[in-house]
Every structure is written in C-alpha cells, then in structure tokens.
Amino acid sequence: MAMADITIYGAGIFGLSIAWSCVQRGAKVQVIDPYGVGAGSSGGVVGALAPHTPENWNDKKQFQFESLIMAQSYWRSVEETGGKSTGYARSGRLQPINDDRAMALAKARQEGAKDLWQGLAQFDIIDAPGPWSPKSETELVIFDTLSGRMHPRMACEALVAALETKSCLVKADGEPQGIVVEATGWKGLRALADQMEQPVGNGVKGQAAVLEFATPLDAPQLFADALHIIPHANGTIAIGSTSEREFDDASSTDAQLDDVIVRARQAFPVLADAPVIERWAGVRPRAKSRAPMIGHHPLRKGAFIANGGFKIGFGMAPKIAEVMADLILEGADQIPEGFRPEASLR
C-alpha cells in the first residue's frame, strides 16, 4: 500500500465519514481500529436523525440543520460508490400534542421553522394519521419533514464498501502515516481527560431494542415520552434509548431496557404485540461542552480530533466530515466556536 496522507484512528461514524470526504478529494487515507468497524455506539440500532427545535437558534443548531439538509446527497454518493445501502431516508417525524401548553409551543415552533428552516423543511400541526402515530390526547401531532433515519450498522458497512473502492482499508493495527486524526469515541475522551488531568468528556451508556414490525418504506419516525421509534427499511423497528452516566458493563442490557419497551408499547399502541428480536447496549461519547469536539488536537501538534457525537453523531456526520476535510487538506477552518476542543477545556 502506498504511504497514506492521513491516518484516522477510529472506525466509527466520525472516522469513516471523514475518511470518505478526504478520499473523495484525492487523499490517501488509512483507518485503524483494533476493535473493528462500528465497534462502539456507531454499531447501534436506532439511527434517529432528529433536528433541534426551531427556537433559540445558535451555531450548533444551524450546523446540524445544514448537515441534515446535505445528508441525502452525501449518503447517496456513499451508496452509489460502494453499492451498499445506508438505510437512509428523510421520512420525517411525528410527535404528540397532548395539552394546551404543548399546542402553544408547537405553534411557536411552527412559526420559527418558517424562517430558520429556510423553506427547506416544514414543521406542521396535523391530524394524527391513523395507527402509525403516537397516542395524542388532542388527536393532533407535529409532523416535521427535516427528520431522517439511517441504520447505524448499515451506514458504517456502506462507508467501508465505498472507501474500499478508493483503496482505503480499515485495519486492526498499523503505523501512523501522514496527518493523524483521532476519532476514538468515549474511550478516547477518557484517555484525553487522563492525559490533560481535567474532565473533557465521558461516555453515556444507551440501551435500545429492535422489534419485528414491518411498515411502509416511507413511514416517519415517532417520538413521545423521550423515546425514538425508528422504522427501518429491513422490516424492523428500533426503540431507544436510555441515558446512563454510571454503568459497570458497557454492553449489558437490564431492567432499564425492559422499562423502555413497556413505555414504548404504551405510547405507541400499534407496537403492542410486536416481538422483541434484539436487545442492544453501547456507550456514546459525550464531550464536556455537549457539542461535538472537532478541530486541532489539544495536545498533539499537527494532529486533529473528531469526537463527542453523543446522540447526534450520525446527523452531524456529513457536515463534520466536510468541515474536517476542509481543515485537514486545505487549512480552511470553518468550525463553530462551540465545537472546538477549547470549548470542553474551559
């Protein structure tokens, strides 16, 4: 193999998508991960690409909005190149409106979306559309057309297939060559905290379940009682998830997931008899700033970092990959202040 221009440590969604953006621009890239592709939370089952609410707008919300808008073309290029589906669809999301307060908030956000979403997506109040809908006391729901879905495992596999066509392979080990990018997930955040002797981020465990339940391919995702219900193209429904800052076993499931499944069946009666076919747990990297941590590495001169995707990593990935490729290959820095490593070091 020819010498790499870039070595990326970490074969999760950030590492793989940055590799893809870089190889598209002609860079030679190698990805190294001793645990394999999608070994952490990027190998999960949920895949909710849900936008921030259209209010109190800031750089983080704008960045995520732009990423969700560019997602369709980004993931289409991955699928067309590698020949594998990411499970992506911008199919929207339904949320219940249960009382007058929720209705007032929904109307305010509807007005906010008209301006902030620039006519590229809608935030509407509609009648609950039949069985595939959250239970709503008012029989009205919010339907937004910005939300999307993708299957995390399928997306990682599709990226690997696309990268292979560009002679970029994922390896278990190897020597660093060229510019180094660390995209090493929650364990990387912990290691960085130890090296800097200060908190910079940590891992938050999530448990999720997969149910067997086929829906139309364009069925929207559902959200209620802090639960995401994601219909995937493979005839399954993903339900998630818990948020556990304290945990002993990163991969075990327990009564907390049982509770999630019970709540999901109550909030979404259509799922009452759907059998559970998989239980999953993993740890998501959460930077101290609560925003992704991307940019120049805080300790290693000439190196870069991309971490802290937490619950929005897949939705942020297209834009983060492009911005990181701009910075690494062209020296063009378009990273929002709140995303820089310094934001988690204050």
| Run of H or E residues at 108 | helix 100-116
User: What number is the average pLDDT over the span 44-53?
Assistant: 95
pLDDT per position as a tens digit, 228-285: 999 998 889 999 999 999 999 999 999 999 999 999 999 999 999 999 999 999 999 9
In this prediction, what percent of the chain has a pLDDT beyond 90? Answer: 95
Instruction: Measure CA 132 to chain center.
Output: 24
Residue 332: pLDDT band (50, 70, 90) is very high
User: What number is the average pLDDT over the span 39-67?
Assistant: 95
Res 130 pLDDT > 90: no
Q: What pLDDT is recorded for position 1?
A: 44
Residue 2: pLDDT band (50, 70, 90) is low
Task: Compute the CA torsion angle 324, 325, 326, 329 (nearest 10 deg).
Answer: 120
Res 137 pLDDT > 60: yes
Res 305 pLDDT > 70: yes
pLDDT per position as a tens digit, 208-224: 999 999 888 789 999 99
Total residues found in the chain within this entry? 346
Res 61 pLDDT > 60: yes
Q: Which of 220, 61, 240 is nearest to 141 (CA)?
A: 220
The per-residue pLDDT of the chain, averaged, comes to 96
